[in-house]
Structure formats: structure tokens, C-alpha cells
Homo-oligomer: A and B are copies of this chain.
Amino acid sequence: MSPARLETFADGVFAIAATLLILTVDGAVRGEGIGLSASLTHAWPAYVGYVVSFLTIGIMWVNHHTIMSLVVRVDRRFLIANLGLLMCIAFVPFPTRLIAENIRGAGAESAALAYGFTLTATAIFFNAVWFYAAVGRRLLRADADPRVVAGITRTYRVGPWIYLGATLVAFASATASAILYLAITALYIFESSIFGGRETIPD
């Protein structure tokens, strides 16, 4: 299987998971008639959740592309690691709904934990995919730039810890945990626009 075909399948899962997020918003607003305006205002955590999860999935799609642009061939183990990763990505709409519905109530802690563990698992699978490909340059292109490879290794290694940290904060404060999820995404978007913003992304 060419890396391109795997990437096409993966892109499908990324695009569908991101687009299904709207069902969270749609489910959050059920008031009719005179109550619609209040219902629309009350549903603000659903909008925030939509934006954060959409951008998170979007960033992961870019990161997945960056990996695939360095990979020259695909074997069965790499494929299975990718299936695990996609399984996590497609899971994201579920904890997004939980957090949107519960962040203001008694279920906030459970919801924040569910969201955090999903993203931690996703970050772990990103590491599985990357390290399987990169260790000993097993699946990498011969011309893959060693500095780029080392840079990805450095960044990915901390990913699960950052998300695990934000998740554990939920035991103290679910709100703080949710703000951290938002901040991680916002920081990535910000950093990536200011520095590196004009870098051409590898084909």
C-alpha cells in the first residue's frame, strides 16, 4: 500500500470526524419558539467545544500529513498503528458533546476526564505511528531531513504528557482542565501562525 492511499483513507476519517462535530452543537439547542434565543445563548459551551475540537482535529490532520510526507512505504504494523490513531480521532466528537453538556454541572469532572483521556490516547497513538516509522528510519524516505525527524521526535514525545497533565487537573478543577485544552489548541494555532507561519508545508 502506498503512503498516499493510506493518507487518503485517513483524510476521510479526519474530515468526517470534524464535520460530525456539528451534531454536538445541533443537539445542544432544542428550544423552540420564544425560548430559542435563550437556548442559543445557553449553548455557548457547545460552540466553544465545536471550535476547539474542530481545530484540534484539523491540527492533527496537518501533523499526520507531515508524518506521511516523510514515509516511503507502509507495512502491516504501521497500518495497524494508524487504525488505532484514526479510532481515537473518530472518537473525539463523543467527549466533545460530554464536555459541552456538562461543563457547568455536576458531571463536569467526568466530562473533562473523558475528553482528556481521549486526547492523551490520541497523542500516544501519534507516538506509536511516528516511532514505528522513525526508529532506525524504518519506513522513512532516504532523503528525510534528519533535523526535521529529530524535531518531530522531540515534539511528539511531550504530547501525551501535556494532555495527561491537563487531564489530571480535572480532579482539582474541571473548568481549569477545559481551559487548558482550549489553551493548548490556541497556543498551537498562535505559535504556528507567528513562527513557522510562512513555512511551506512539505508535500
Contacts and interface: CB of A to CB of B under 8 A. Distances in A.
A196 to B, nearest CB: 6
A35 interface: yes
A154 interface: no
Given A76-B193, A87-B51, A197-B76, A102 B32 contact: yes
Contacts of A192: 76, 80
Number of copies: 4
A21 B88 CA distance: 12
Interface stretch (A55-63, A144-152, A159-167, A176-184): A55-63
Interface in A37-80: 37, 40, 50-51, 54-55, 58, 61-62, 65, 69, 73-77, 79-80
Contact of A90 (B29, B54, B97, B106): B54
Contacts of A20: 16, 19, 22
Given A9-B15, A22-B94, 8 more contacts: A1-B69, A12-B12, A12-B15, A16-B20, A17-B19, A32-B102, A36-B98, A51-B87
23 contacts: A1-B200, A2-B203, A5-B11, A8-B8, A9-B15, A9-B61, A12-B16, A12-B19, A16-B20, A18-B86, A22-B91, A26-B93, A32-B101, A32-B102, A32-B105, A33-B105, A36-B110, A50-B87, A54-B83, A55-B87, A62-B76, A76-B192, A76-B197
